[in-house]
Amino acid sequence: MRVISGKWRGIPLAEFEGDDIRPTADRVKESLFNIISSRVAGASALDLFCGSGSLGIECLSRGAKSVAFNDNSLSSLAVLGKNLAKLRCTGGYTITQSDYLAFLKAAKVRYDIIFIDPPYRLEYGQPALEVIARRGLLKKDGIAIYERDMKFYGRVEGLEIFDERKYGKAHLTFFRASQGEKR
């Protein structure tokens, strides 16, 4: 796992031991950021299930204004801390240890980009998207990207799917505010 592009391009990131945690594969991350590249510079992003911080770090490397990292796991936040220290990243981010729903319900800011990449075995994506829509946590023209191991067939009132991609086992679903409901 490495930083794909930007000021930290090519720098390897610390990973988790064992198979319990599944970071976004470099090839999926590279494809994802090719799709959203025009949105990253100057953006405010949320890496909701941050794990090692790979997605949020990629945003910072590419010029995002700020990234909020959140994870419920102390071990995930420890790996994130190692990665930020390795990159000598000294600002432009916040770190929160919180349950994802508690984080979203308490959020006081809106984001340009929200990454929703929970463990595949857990069905946290739909509830997260519902809170994001209900609370208006996406800025005007903001996007939420949900990664999972199968196609998303649900509906989220207030959000619409505008793109879907499949890379091996990973499915990426891109959401924006429903037309007429942009913030």
Block means of pLDDT (10 residues each) for the chain, 183 residues, are 92 73 77 95 97 95 97 93 93 96 97 93 92 96 95 93 93 89 47
- The neighbour count for residue 14, using CB atoms within 10 Å, is 16
109 found inside a domain:
yes
126 found inside a domain:
yes
CATH number of the domain to which 30 belongs: 3.40.50.150
- Whole-number mean pLDDT of the chain? 91
State residue 142's pLDDT score. Answer: 96
pLDDT tens sequence across 113-124: 999 999 878 889
Print the domain residue range for 85. Answer: 26-177
- Cα(121)–Cα(98) distance, integer angstroms: 19
| DSSP letters for 49-79 | T-TT-HHHHHHHHTT-SEEEEEES-HHHHHH
Output the pTM of the full model: 0.93
Total count of domains within the chain: 1
